[in-house]
A and B are shown apart, each in its own frame.
Chain A
Amino acid sequence: MSTPRIDGELKVRGLAPFAYEQRTERPLYLFPVLSRIAAGRVAALDTAAAEAAPGVFAVLTHANAPKLASTDNLELAVLQSADIGFRGQIIGAVLAETPEEARYAAGLVGHSYDESAHDARFRVDHPDAYTPEGVNGGQQADVSKGDVDAALASARTAVDHVYTTPIEHNNPMEPHTAVAQWDGRTLTLFDSTQGVHPARSVLAPLFGLEPDRMHVISPYVGGGFGSKGTPHAGEALTALAAFAADGRPVKYALTRQQMFPLAGYREPTHQHIRLAADPGGRLTAVSVDVTEPTSKIKEFAEQAGVPARTMYAAPNIRSTHRLVPLDVPVASWFRAPGECPGMFGLETAMDDLAAAAGIDPIELRRRNDTDVDPMSGKPFSARHLVECLDTGAERFGWERRRPEPGSRREGDWLIGLGVASSTYPFVRIPGSVARVRYRADGRYEVGIGAAELGTGTWTSLTQIAAEALGCPKESVMLAIGDTDEPNATIAGGSSGTASWGGAIIAAADEFREKFGERPEPDDEVRAESPTVTDAENFSLHSFGAQFAEVRVNSRTGEVRVDRLLGVFSVGRVINARTARSQFIGGMTMGLGMALHEESVMDPRFGHVVNHDLAGYHVPACADVHDIDAIWLDERDEHAGKLGARGIGEIGITGTAAAIANAAYNATGVRVRDLPLTLDKFLR
């Protein structure tokens, strides 16, 4: 089905209220004071001038801020101590009658510090590097099967290179915003979040509140990409300030510059990848050793080495993760954590192997395809990687690719084609509950605390409910984005639609079973999303293939992507229109990752110097030429009744490798360090 967005008109007309736009009475505006050193303690903050400034209601510091019930999470324990863990940490906050007055007064605060030596320079051979207990996604830090070293030592064809990705920042169009109000009993939080219930489960204990005394509301979100998956310091600060605001609402929207230290980001990855293959190109060993930094105050271990455990058949596989603790801001989820940087490294290495072995890159992937998950030995529920590659090759005109790099030229431009695989696991998080209630007007209320990030939740969940209830879409009144609705899991890990949809289907089925086709008004049921039992017997993963045509200017090194095509196998697609947008959005993020995105850490200061959208480049419209996404027509019967495996993140995985591989085919210059800026092609 290709259903237009239910919330489209509201958004186009500016009538869909985002968190910061919620109507409130007599709000106070917050502006934070941020640390200008990366390590040490606040010696003193001189707040006298700020307190005397026009419109100022209060100036909060660690000396006078309300105390939190829990300070275990140092990212969220704002204004609880004088300790500084990174440059840009919140050390104070001004509350004032207008945003301008708050910002002005924040600038009047005098800073003095007891500064300690800081370390913000990432290096792989750092003496403090350590092995984390686990990595993001609940995976083991290190896994191994077979004898990788022996296979590498005896290989006829081998690849042994380092692939790196830089620091990247999320930067959704809507910055992180929150409006908090404490009425003496209940803390109300309008939040820009990827999950109202997950946000409450993190924030309520911070303030010692039982869940029923915290109400989180978030009907619309202007992009999250992982950065709004869990509350960050800005929301904690806004909520904290509400306890010092005499019952008035407190509003805070991070500035773009503040997004860089305070809203999560992707740490750089250093991936040492070694592949060994027999003369036919069949892998005999895959070894991926990942090193990445982590903030000293809160660990985050991105699972960049994980996709290599799933992608290709090999008798010997090893993947490891090491962390280097630094005095830097706290990293978090970022656009397909793990798979995204990991698939840049692995899929560029596969192109290196194809070149070394003299085998077509698609043929190489075909020869290394597998019906069973190489580590677990479980069969894949539906692995259609080769079908995606073949479908894409025909549509994209792969036969026009010349194997010899640098052999196709138009004027000053060198042109090449590249391919890479995509993958993303099927994630269905248990615990989502939906309610269905029949109304006197003949419509059905369907309630679940799900999130709408701009991806189409309002529409797809309405479709799922209508289908499950056997009624027209117009008869469904969906309610989401509110903790007053039943528990919903996070819009993250590409799990939302499958997890929430499973609960809605369960509730609809139960409703029909209990009340039949002719219910009475106020008939209501609640039901929880069933667990996926097939995950015990099958490895559930989505796959895809990405194709890129790239031109590189032989005089200036400029890289332009003329065409991108993604072909995806994701189980059932609920709404073709919003799905296509999501695939293309993911691929555009991959384009940005390939060509532009790089946060530059200046280790002398410990901050990202290009901390705005003038310095941190994301693709402009002119960078996005012909970009298309298609998918296989399928339904994964092992992925629950809905048959869908999720589409949120697979679009970004592999894109950057496809572009880098196309740039190599165009020029013969292999870039293993993202992004593919023009200086890397100048010879």
Chain B
Amino acid sequence: MIPFAYSRADTTADAVRAVSADPDAAFIAGGTNLVDHMRLEIATPRTLVDVSRLPLGDVIDTADGGVAIGASVRNSDLAEHPAVRSRYPALSTALLSGASGQLRNLATTGGNLLQRTRCPYFHDPTTPCNKREPGTGCSALGGYARDAAIFAATPDCVATHPSDMAVALALYGGVVQVLGAAGDREIPLNEFYANEDPSHDTVLAHGELITGVRLPPPTGAPSTYRKVRDRESYAFALVSVAASLRVDGGHVADVRIACGGVAHKPWRAARAEEALRGAPASAASYEAAADAELAAADPLPGNEFKRRLLRGTLTAVLSELSEEQ
């Protein structure tokens, strides 16, 4: 592990100042991802600024009927929060399907959004990886690509984003609240992740701190999250689907879909949503909608199965939601 200095920030402004001023500094909150990366020398910050005790630990009802989630809220606490369980159930389910109880007790909302890909080549400093060392190449191309993206991958990087929580936040239209040296700004989750340059997972500038996530009021449509993985717990999603669906008179009145494990970000299935609006609420419609979305898929040798898996998972989730109505 590279030697590093450690300090604890007393205010968000102090934290932002400290990291912005030092290109080798990084924020640390729960540390469940960063500490692993430091041990493996994937991340080599020389200074850590601890933001876990900043006053960002609350879930607050907002005036518009939504919630504001502080960046330091632990995944366990967020999953159990009454407002989340009753109004954003897919978020609670998504959180509880991630990691282990011990990790969820440490991991924070902000840190969860910023966790990095689990691509095995990214995790091995002895193999080329554009995300870890720009310009060295992508080892997953022509290699082990079971976990790789099927949507919007680039020739430089085919990594997927591993978060369950982010998929549910994307479903509910989450907005990331950020504080930087130049002030604060809000970024819709759908625009938060980037892959033009594989070394930059998000649109955040160095020193910008996530202070929270705002969720608009729920639409009232039933929603759920389904994670499909290689074992029953403690594994990253091969494919996951967060969806909300309202059926009226046997037809789809309102639908939203976000998918995990298929892209560098939570993948809003806009084509599938479009195909479903007004369609009969039937398995045939759901399969057709999945196919509409999958028309844009571009899998690699080794992850073609994600096409069939996403189709099956999406159909199962939407069928389950419609059966309840």
Contacts and interface: CB of A to CB of B under 8 A. Distances in A.
Contacts of A257: 124
A588 to B, nearest CB: 12
A609 B1 contact: no
A609 B143 CA distance: 9
B231 A595 contact: yes
Contacts of B193: none
A103 interface: yes
Interface in A571-621: 595-596, 600, 602, 604-605, 607, 609-612, 614-615, 617, 619-621
B47 interface: no
Given A557-B309, A682-B308, A623 B144 contact: no
Contacts of A107: 2, 41
Contacts of B1: 100, 103-104
Contacts of B236: 614
Could you tell me the dominant secondary structure of chain A's interface residues?
A: loop
B144 A104 contact: no
Interface string B55-76: 0000000000000000000000
A617 B228 contact: no
Interface string A536-579: 00000000000000000111111010000000000000000000
A596 B234 CA distance: 12
A560 B228 CA distance: 12
A556 B313 contact: yes
Contact of A556 (B120, B235, B312): B312
A667 to B, nearest CB: 14
Given A557-B312, A604-B143, 9 more contacts: A602-B139, A607-B126, A609-B143, A610-B120, A617-B235, A620-B231, A620-B234, A623-B233, A678-B309
B232 interface: yes
A36 interface: yes
A367 to B, nearest CB: 37
Contacts of A410: none
B312 A682 contact: yes
B interface, size bucket? 20 to 34
Interface of A: 36, 54, 100, 103-104, 107, 257, 412, 553-558, 560, 595-596, 600, 602, 604-605, 607, 609-612, 614-615, 617, 619-623, 677-679, 682-683
Central interface residue in A553, A609, A621, by most chain B CB within 10 Å: A609
Could you tell me the dominant secondary structure of chain B's interface residues?
A: loop
A224 to B, nearest CB: 24
Contacts of A554: 312
13 contacts: A104-B1, A104-B2, A107-B2, A555-B313, A555-B316, A556-B228, A557-B308, A596-B231, A602-B139, A615-B120, A620-B235, A682-B312, A683-B308
Contacts of A596: 230-231
A609 B309 contact: no
A609 B121 contact: yes
Contact of B231 (A604, A605, A617, A683): A617
A555 B233 CA distance: 19
Contact of B233 (A605, A620, A679): A620
A223 to B, nearest CB: 19
Contact of A555 (B2, B121, B127, B315): B315
B305 interface: yes
Contacts of B120: 609-611, 615
A439 B40 CA distance: 53
Nearest to B316: A555
A619 B231 contact: yes
B144 A602 contact: yes
Contacts of A678: 228, 230, 238, 305, 309
Given A36-B126, A556-B228, A682-B305, A610 B233 contact: no
Interface string B1-28: 1110000000000000000000000000
Contacts of B232: 560, 620, 622-623
Contact of B118 (A558, A614, A620): A614
Interface in B295-313: 305, 308-309, 312-313
A556 B316 contact: yes
Contacts of B228: 556, 558, 678
Central interface residue in A36, A555, A611, A612, by most chain B CB within 10 Å: A555
A600 B143 CA distance: 10
A71 B126 CA distance: 28
The 3 closest A-B pairs by CB, nearest first: A555-B312, A679-B305, A622-B233
Nearest to A612: B123
B142 interface: yes
